[in-house]
Amino acid sequence: MSGEETEYHSKDFDWEELRQRIEDDPTLRYHFLPFTHQSVSSSALDSQSWNHFHARHSTGKFFKERRYLFKEFPELASCEEHSKVLEVGCGNGSTALPILRGKENILVFACDCSSEALERATEIVYASNVVSAKSRFRPFCCDFSTCRFPEWLICDSCRETSLQKRNIFLSDVKRDLTDITSLKESDECCVGGVDYVTLIFTLSAVPLDRMSTAVTECFSVLKPGGLLFFRDYGLYDMTMLRFEADQRVGFREYKRSDGTRSYFFSLESARNLFLAAGFIEVELEYCCVKSVNRRKQKTMHRVWVHGKFQKPM
């Protein structure tokens, strides 16, 4: 097994034991106190914070492809030709690029609330050696917690008429099937919903009071039977415990000094959000990974939530 597989597929410790240990530690008690004065945040300020974040981390060093995605979500590897994925909160392309690389015909629509992020992602994808990256990667700006996804992504009213017209033309000139499928993927008509949504370390950045709107938006853009792949920070992840008391902005919700936010999901909080939006739970579990910082002689307990949810047929 490679280092990366070990990192993302092992269950190194029991989450319940970690919970017990942390909840018994008096120095960490402030993390569990009820929160009375929920802070209201503005969408424009949140996007600005993410813009600054991406401007600061514009070097290639910060970019890391999430190569484990096809192992965690094997449906991406076995999906039909010309499947459509929407990567929500694409950042610099860490999720979009491995998906484009892993499957030659897949189309990746990628949104982010930060224009800086979209520029970085586009540069990185275009500079890659991925086959037809330019035509298969479709970035657009959107804050999915306050705005609807664009109409062309969901709607397919113009699709049938435009396909009919093309089929007549194609039968005239006796084009083969390959040409038909490639024409089907042109920019000229609406997309008609996507087969998969990826929500990878993005929902935790959305303020808690806007999360249900954001998840409902993801539900609306999926085709019936489509899948949403979720991976995000889990409750009692080491990075949660590093936040100071004055960085709490809500229950299990924190703000970094640069203005970006992070929420830490329990299985229940993730389940409640997705089921309330209409999804069916397919998989939901904690991923618990122990890694050792040899230089500092410290063991780090990482907790992520892995989830797979389906829109009913």
Task: Kindly list the residues in this chain that would bind ligand SAM in the complex (CB under 6 A).
Answer: 50, 66, 89-91, 94-95, 111-114, 117, 143-145, 200-202, 205-206
Rounded CA separation 247/243 (Å): 6
Query: Least Å distance between CB 26 and ligand SAM?
Result: 31
Query: Least Å distance between CB 117 and ligand SAM?
Result: 4
How many C-beta neighbours within 10 Å does residue 233 have? 23
Q: Do the Cβ atoms of 103 and 76 come closer than 8 Å?
A: yes
Query: Least Å distance between CB 158 and ligand SAM?
Result: 26
Please calculate the CA angle 5-10-16 and round it to the nearest 5 degrees: 155
Which one, 56 or 298, has the nearer CB to ligand SAM?
56
Query: Least Å distance between CB 89 and ligand SAM?
Result: 3
Q: Is 246 left (phi over 0), alpha (psi -120 to 50) or beta?
A: alpha
Residue 11 one-letter amino acid: K
Rounded CA separation 203/63 (Å): 19
Handedness of CA 131, 135, 141, 147 (dihedral sign): negative
Rounded CA separation 27/62 (Å): 32
Rounded CA separation 22/202 (Å): 25
Which one, 154 or 206, has the nearer CB to ligand SAM?
206
Which one, 97 or 288, has the nearer CB to ligand SAM?
97
Which one, 189 or 200, has the nearer CB to ligand SAM?
200
Rounded CA separation 88/137 (Å): 13
Query: Least Å distance between CB 98 and ligand SAM?
Result: 9
Which one, 103 or 166, has the nearer CB to ligand SAM?
103
Which one, 166 or 302, has the nearer CB to ligand SAM?
302
Retrieve residue 28's tokens.
């960490």
Could you say which DSSP state residue 265 is in? B
Query: Least Å distance between CB 52 and ligand SAM?
Result: 10
Helix (H, G, I), strand (E, B) or coil at 216: helix
Query: Least Å distance between CB 31 and ligand SAM?
Result: 21
Which one, 86 or 189, has the nearer CB to ligand SAM?
86
